[in-house]
Amino acid sequence: MEGMIQSSVPQYSKPFHSLATMARSVPNPRIIAMHRRRHRIPQLTSHSFLPFISSSPTGSTVSFATPEVGVSNTETPEWAMQDFYTLRKDVETVLERVEEIRAAAGLKQLQEDLAALEAAATDSALWDNRATAQETLQALTDCKDKLKLLHDFKTQADDAETIIKLTEEMESIDSALLQEASGIIKELNKALDRFELTQLLSGPYDKEAAVITITAGAGGTDAQDWADMLLRMYVRWGEKQRYETKVVEKSVGEEAGIKSATIEIEGRYAYGYLSGEKGTHRIVRQSPFNAKGLRQTSFSGVEVMPLLPEDSTDVEIPEEDLDISFTRAGGKGGQNVNKVETAVRITHIPTGVAVRCTEERTQLANKIKALSRLKAKLLVIAEEQRACEIKQIRGNAVKAEWGQQIRNYVFHPYKLVKDVRTAYETSDITSVMDGELDPFIKAYLKHKYSMTANPSGLS
Amino acid sequence: MRLSFIRPISCCAVSSPTTLVKPQTPLFLRPPTFKTTLTDLKKWHLWAKSLASSVGSAFLNLDNGPDSNQLLRELNWLIEDAIGTPKSILEQPHKSRNGNSTVLIRTCLDELYVLWKQRVEERRPFQYVVGCEHWRDLVLSVQEGVLIPRPETELIVDLVDEAIKENEELRDGLWGDLGTGSGALAIGIARILGSKGRVIATDLSPVATAVASYNVQRYDLEEKVHVKQGSWFEPLRDNEGEFVGLVSNPPYIPSKDIGGLQAEVGRHEPRLALDGGASGMNDLIHLCDGAVSMLKPGGFFAFETNGDEQSKFLVHYIETKKQGSFSKVKMVSDFAGIQRFITGFRGR
């Protein structure tokens, strides 16, 4: 009911701010419109409003029943004074946060970059070199996007602030408006979280789409079921991020679960977020596949690679360094067999790094795809090892790094998901399995960032 | 929606058996003019998945047939070919509100039930079900009566490519593909030949020549590839001694082995394209004999065989019985390490 105020504030002592400070900039036109609309509706006058509040008895529910108004908006919850103060505080905090982020993001520098890039983009010599032209245009788009984002943060924060000031000006509570402000703050905080996270993603491939390969470890059906649970977890995560998430390959287990699966997750920064997920994931539970319900530990391996655009991998790998094997359905082959078995496995002999590709309909197509995945994997490993070229990759180190146990999921005797690297943990295992991975991802990215910034932390 | 399959009154014709000479349009090339709802399509998908899963490794143990995993992969490809809208709509289980939205498909839903049932229960080859085979970078139309090109055979095009790179004269000459089937080799080779290069493709089967002609036409190669009906060299008599290259994947399976073949092959593919007589080598020997007079000096040949034993025999046969006719005769392995091909050159 509009105009209802539930208050647990004993005394209303602090008067609303005067309007003098309000609206230093042009407010959101929508809010102006709302403002006007509000004024068309018969409202509580400021006269009746303030005295009533200040005389309100402690703790009781004060009803501003104004039957003559006749406007009932049941969709917006009722707002209490205290809620308003909380909201005002939130708005102040978010305003500060937006300013900090804008400063940290180097707003000035970005504007200078934009000018420089715009000049370069309009240069008549731009298309002399196609590759650099594309790079320039991409950089321009990135720069514009970032500036727009920073601008949007500011606009949204201002919108919320305007609503607060409007409310103070009108000296009345408009639930719908406050609800809107609250919504803005909520969304804005999420966007800011995301932006901060993105700042941690500055690796050369972080922006790219990602390919996740999940492989069940030893441990039979239980491990295969665990791999299937992880598959579901990542698919749900991808859907939550509104990334385009495709299971491109899935090899089901004999009894339950999967032996392996490959997911392609397309969307900006998919690789950056997911790169820290690679490693061994361990589950401890009472196995549903074990008649005695004994506690069982199983493992599944997760590999994450960037999905690089076809032409961006200008890495040449000598043919003799590759061991390419085609899976054939056995038997005599040729005319004797008709199985659409097109799997291709490529091993980079010097490092032992291998990839497998099965989802395409011809071996040729799988070979091309596998080769591009192999290159992506080698590039990522080279970057991790700070090697300038593929040749310098230390193969023995790869196995250790990529197979490292990174997270424990304990279902029994207690519920706990704990990241081995960051020590981040939660007991809400259901949500995690439902794709709530962001806290883990964020913790890892921060951890990684602090490691790079402060290498002495490495021990 | 049905879980057990009942043959419905079909709104479109079920693919006809072998006698049709008019080539069929592969599923993926048909217009998406059939409508269904997402809910019904998902029900079909669920049914099809469970049918595939129920197979387990039964076929594998029986006759080295496909297991559930392979069938599930094929199911994805069937969806890819059958659906007009992106197939990812099937992978969004959480958007139930779109259940009534229309999905465009290239054949009616009832036919999809029929097709998948044929695939799993009758072991009808997947490629006949969708009417095409992805081979090298080609998508070739296939249907009952035409051998489905095998991945091993893709290598012959690479062997030809190598030969051409060594001797550029081969690039603009006349090539022969004997027993062309779907036209796979003829088309694959025509695409690496020069502007003057030509291929004559022959096949005894009228279904095969119809399908090969259709595939040639789909790849705009009518100028380069001539499809002729007839047995082996018979349609080529006018061009005797003119060929710079001959390739063939002739029937090479010994007659006694046909009965034990994987059901997809033995029950559904044309015996004419598989059965090579008692030893499996009737046609291969005929080809080696004929190649002597058909090839120009320096001309190249590559034939596919049943593997190690046959290849060894043929190399020996050529070296002893065709002494001096050929040079550089050798065996080449397929990717499974089986000596699958013999290649060589007509002596100069």
- Listing DSSP states for A295-333 in one string gives EEEEEEEEEEEEE--GGG------GGGEEEEE---STT-
**CA A144/CA B24 separation, integer angstroms:** 52
Final residue belonging to a domain, choices A165, A198, A231: A198
Residue A21's pLDDT is 37
- Residue B245 confidence class, pLDDT cut points 50, 70, 90: very high
Query: Is residue B27 within 8 Å of B96, Cβ to Cβ?
Result: no
Query: Is residue B200 within 8 Å of B176, Cβ to Cβ?
Result: yes
**CA A95/CA A161 separation, integer angstroms:** 8
Q: Do A338 and B136 touch (CB under 8 A)?
A: no
CATH of the domain at A335: 3.30.160.20
**Does residue A429 fall inside a structural domain?**
yes
Closest CA of chain A from B287, distance in Å:
18
Residue B87's pLDDT is 56
A190 and A105: one domain?
A: yes
Better-predicted residue by pLDDT, B341 or A107: B341
Element (H, E) at A255: none
Closest CA of chain A from B150, distance in Å:
6
Final residue belonging to a domain, choices A198, A220, A252: A198
A149 and A164: one domain?
A: yes
Residue A272's pLDDT is 92
A303 and A417: one domain?
A: yes
pTM score? 0.71
Better-predicted residue by pLDDT, B3 or A184: A184
Element (H, E) at B318: helix B308-321
Q: In this prediction, what percent of chain B has a pLDDT beyond 70?
A: 90
A86 and A180: one domain?
A: yes
| B309, amino acid identity | E
Task: Give me chain B's average pLDDT, please.
Answer: 90
* Option in A254, A338, A364 nearest B148 (CB): A338
**CA B128/CA B206 separation, integer angstroms:** 17
Closest CA of chain A from B9, distance in Å:
31
Q: What are phi and psi of B139, to 5 degrees?
A: -120, 110
Closest CA of chain A from B179, distance in Å:
13
A407 and A269: one domain?
A: yes
**Does residue A74 fall inside a structural domain?**
no
Q: How many residues can be counted in chain B?
A: 348
Q: Where are the beta strands (DSSP E) in chain B?
A: 34-37, 102-105, 132-135, 138-141, 174-178, 198-203, 225-229, 243-248, 295-304, 326-333, 339-346
**Local structure of B21: helix, strand or coil:** coil
A228 and A304: one domain?
A: yes
A159 and A10: one domain?
A: no
Query: Which of B40, B39, B100, B49 is CA-nearest to residue B73?
Result: B49
A375 and A330: one domain?
A: yes
Q: Does B340 touch chain A (CB under 8 A)?
A: yes
Tokens of A381: 């490993």
Mean pLDDT, consecutive 10-residue stretches, chain A (459 aa), reads 40 38 44 46 37 37 40 56 85 89 81 89 84 86 89 91 86 82 89 80 87 90 95 95 89 89 92 93 89 85 88 76 79 87 87 87 87 89 80 75 89 94 95 94 84 51
Query: Is residue A361 within 8 Å of B79, Cβ to Cβ?
Result: no
Query: Which of A96, A221, A247 is CA-nearest to residue A157?
Result: A96
Query: Which of B231, B250, B221, B27 is CA-nearest to residue B143?
Result: B27
pLDDT, mean of residues B133-142: 94
Cβ-Cβ pairs closer than 8 A, A with B, add up to: 108
Element (H, E) at A54: helix A46-54
**CA B251/CA A236 separation, integer angstroms:** 50
Closest CA of chain A from B122, distance in Å:
15
**Does residue A71 fall inside a structural domain?**
no
Residue B300's pLDDT is 97
CA-based nearest residue in chain B for residue A242? B92
A302 and A327: one domain?
A: no
CA-based nearest residue in chain A for residue B49? A252
**CA A237/CA A402 separation, integer angstroms:** 21
**Does residue A409 fall inside a structural domain?**
yes
Sole residue written with tokens 């994931």: A281
* Option in B64, B77, B340 nearest A334 (CB): B340
A422 and A339: one domain?
A: no
β-pairing, A279-286 vs A405-410, is parallel
Chain B residues 24-83 with a CB less than 8 Å from chain A: 53, 56-57, 64-66, 68-70, 72-74, 77
Q: Does B304 touch chain A (CB under 8 A)?
A: yes
Q: Do B338 and A333 touch (CB under 8 A)?
A: yes
Q: Do A326 and B252 touch (CB under 8 A)?
A: no
**CA A364/CA A370 separation, integer angstroms:** 10
Closest CA of chain A from B139, distance in Å:
10
Residue B295 has pLDDT above 60, yes or no: yes
Residue B14 has pLDDT above 80, yes or no: no
Domain count, chain A: 4
**Does residue A35 fall inside a structural domain?**
yes
CATH of the domain at A269: 3.30.70.1660
Helical H segments across A171-269, by residue range: 175-199, 220-240
Final residue belonging to a domain, choices A36, A64, A92: A64
Query: Which of A235, A284, A288 is CA-nearest to residue A264?
Result: A235
What is the span of the domain harbouring residue A46?
5-64
Residue B7 has pLDDT above 70, yes or no: no
**CA B324/CA B318 separation, integer angstroms:** 9
Better-predicted residue by pLDDT, B56 or A126: B56
Q: Is the peptide bond before B32 cis (omega within 30 degrees of 0)?
A: no
Closest CA of chain A from B260, distance in Å:
9
Mutation test of the interface with chain B: which of A265, A332, A340, A369, choosing the one with the most B Cβ atoms within 10 A? A340
**Does residue A121 fall inside a structural domain?**
yes
Element (H, E) at A213: strand A209-216
Contacts 24+ apart (CB under 8 A), B94-102: B94/A239, B98/B38, B99/B37, B99/B38, B99/B39, B100/B37, B100/B38, B100/B39, B101/B37, B101/B38, B102/B35, B102/B36, B102/B37, B102/B38
**Does residue A95 fall inside a structural domain?**
yes
Residue B207's pLDDT is 96
Q: Do B154 and A364 touch (CB under 8 A)?
A: yes
Q: Measured over all CA atoms, what is the biggest interatomic distance in chain B, rounded to whole angstroms?
A: 75
How do residues B76-100 score in pLDDT, each as one tens digit? 999 989 987 665 566 655 454 566 7
Half-sphere exposure of A25 (CA within 13 A, CB side): 10
Tokens of A38: 């509000």
Q: Does B158 touch chain A (CB under 8 A)?
A: no
Helical H segments across A57-204, by residue range: 81-104, 107-122, 130-170, 175-199
Mutation test of the interface with chain A: which of B304, B335, B340, choosing the one with the most A Cβ atoms within 10 A? B335
* Option in B72, B135, B251 nearest A252 (CB): B72
Mutation test of the interface with chain A: which of B60, B73, B284, choosing the one with the most A Cβ atoms within 10 A? B73
Better-predicted residue by pLDDT, A344 or B13: A344
**CA A395/CA A321 separation, integer angstroms:** 13
Q: Helix A175-199 vs helix A81-104: angle between axes, to the nearest 10 degrees?
A: 30
How do residues B138-188 score in pLDDT, each as one tens digit? 999 999 999 999 999 999 999 999 999 999 999 999 999 999 999 999 999
CA-based nearest residue in chain A for residue B304? A334
* Option in B73, B94, B334 nearest A333 (CB): B334
**CA A338/CA A64 separation, integer angstroms:** 80
Query: Is residue A126 within 8 Å of A120, Cβ to Cβ?
Result: yes
Q: What are phi and psi of A319, to 5 degrees?
A: -50, -40
**CA A200/CA A320 separation, integer angstroms:** 38
Please give the domain boundaries of chain B with CATH numbers for all domains. Answer: 27-130 (no CATH), 146-346 (3.40.50.150)
Chain A residues 396-435 with a CB less than 8 Å from chain B: none
CATH of the domain at A104: 1.20.58.410
**CA B26/CA B142 separation, integer angstroms:** 8
Q: Do B88 and A330 touch (CB under 8 A)?
A: no
**CA A199/CA B41 separation, integer angstroms:** 43
Sole residue written with tokens 């401890």: A284
A323 and A181: one domain?
A: no
A288 and A273: one domain?
A: yes
β-pairing, A322-326 vs A344-348, is antiparallel
Q: Do A326 and B336 touch (CB under 8 A)?
A: yes
Q: Do A332 and B338 touch (CB under 8 A)?
A: yes
**Does residue A458 fall inside a structural domain?**
no
**CA B316/CA B342 separation, integer angstroms:** 11
Mutation test of the interface with chain B: which of A339, A346, A363, choosing the one with the most B Cβ atoms within 10 A? A339
